[in-house]
Amino acid sequence: MSAGVFGKVSSRSAANPSRIFSLHVGDTYLEPLPAARAEAQFTADVPRLHNYSPTQGEPALIAAIVRKVARRSGVTLDPARVQVMPGATSAMGIVCAALVDAGDEVIIPAPFWPLIRGAVRARGATAVEVPIFSRLSEPGFDPVAAIAAAITERTSAIYLNMPNNPTGHVLPDRVLAGIAELAEKHALWIIADEAYEDIWFGSEAPPSVFARADMAGRTVTTHSVSKAYAMAGARVGYTHGPAQTQIMEIIRGVQTFYSYCAPRPMQFAAACALDQGDEWLTQMRAIYGRAARLSAEALEQPVPPGGTFLFFDMRPFMRRSETLTDILERCLEAGVMLTPGTACGTDFGTWARLCFTTVPEPELQEALKALRSVLFA
């Protein structure tokens, strides 16, 4: 988004912050499970609570991670292959630092989580954007062929984020099988981002890439407690990788150098969330699912199958000769801030992303009403 738009946001927020609905950021208004809140962690319960933790992570959290992954994905992790991270964003930078060299290319199915492109570029590598998730419903479109066409001798990895930020989509099994064949053929890493693994609105949880036998040996996976457990401020995530390589030792070394450890008090909070949060997750999905349906209905868009966003083309709502910045500024004038689609991919210069979980339902309805006054005027 242009500096001018952000300037307007700053000035409007300073003048009357209650009138800006910040639907551009992937966060939530929900509070975490009580046992997982910062105020529930006490030095009386954990001696030296505010000291450094072991660089791999607190044993209690690692044990909770192993239990959580077994329940969610049916995979029993070797605790030695788990690395606690200071949030999934840092984890992605650390994983890229371990797997990606300067001059490499990383294939990123688009649209994508906005920060992954920067994590790749920070390594001196090229983020190769391949429109995939926005084209899944196109007749005759072959995602595997599109990815295969993008592979070169410089390709070192494929990034897979499911449910996808920003569409909520999951790649079908046949597509994942095809990607697994490509990764095997070209000796590529799979960088799996499962930040939204527990936010789905159908009858079954989406599959985990690392749980597939054809991908397990070359997949490094990152999870987060930020999204599903409403703990974005805790800055705790975790990464695990295959036992057949030394990659987790390398990742642990990079993590130690960059950040040493995740915040110790919040590691204990995260362990509580993972161990005690299954019922909380069910309630969260019901709340978020309703917010997704309200948002989709208001803006006349398909309901996303998961995640916390609507991602939609703004062209039907644009005035003649209007740009994306122009219409986003009109939305801002109505009190709603959205993410420009270009943050999620170069090919999405007329799209926008809306997060429907940042405000409670009454405020969401007010924000949607304001958006409708702009888009359907």
pLDDT digits (tens, 9 = 90+) for 346-371: 999 999 999 999 999 999 999 999 99
Distance, CA of 325 to CA of 251 (rounded, Å): 39
Q: Which of 299, 324, 353 is nearest to 5 (CA)?
A: 324
Position 214 confidence tier, pLDDT thresholds 50, 70, 90? very high
Both tokens assigned to 366 = 């007010």
Q: Which of 159, 35, 66, 70 is nearest to 109 (CA)?
A: 159
Q: What ranges do the domains of the chain cover? A: 3-26+279-375, 38-276
CATH number of 3-26+279-375: 3.90.1150.10
| Rg of the Cα atoms in the chain | 21
Judged on CB neighbours under 10 Å (0-12, 13-18, 19+), 230 is buried
Distance, CA of 219 to CA of 217 (rounded, Å): 6
pLDDT digits (tens, 9 = 90+) for 303-360: 999 999 999 999 999 999 999 999 999 999 999 999 999 999 999 999 999 999 999 9
pLDDT digits (tens, 9 = 90+) for 188-207: 999 999 999 999 999 899 99
For 136-191, the DSSP string reads TTSTT--HHHHHHHH--TTEEEEEEESS-TTT-----HHHHHHHHHHHHHHT-EEE
Q: Which of 54, 115, 96, 26 is nearest to 239 (CA)?
A: 96
- Mean pLDDT, the chain, rounded, equals 94
For 78-135, the DSSP string reads -GGGEEEES-HHHHHHHHHHHH--TT-EEEEEES--HHHHHHHHTTT-EEEEEE-GGG
Both tokens assigned to 59 = 């044993």
Both tokens assigned to 79 = 């605790």
Pairing verdict, β 105-110 and 126-131 = parallel
Torsions phi, psi of 148, nearest 5? -60, -40
Distance, CA of 239 to CA of 336 (rounded, Å): 35
Pairing verdict, β 351-355 and 309-313 = antiparallel
Distance, CA of 269 to CA of 266 (rounded, Å): 5
DSSP state of 301: -
Is the separation of the CB atoms in 147 and 158 below 8 Å?
yes
Both tokens assigned to 310 = 């609507």
Q: Kind and range of the H or E element at 286?
A: helix 278-299
Both tokens assigned to 373 = 């006054």
CATH number of 38-276: 3.40.640.10
Residue 18: per-residue pLDDT: 59
Distance, CA of 228 to CA of 288 (rounded, Å): 10
pLDDT beyond 50 at 158: yes
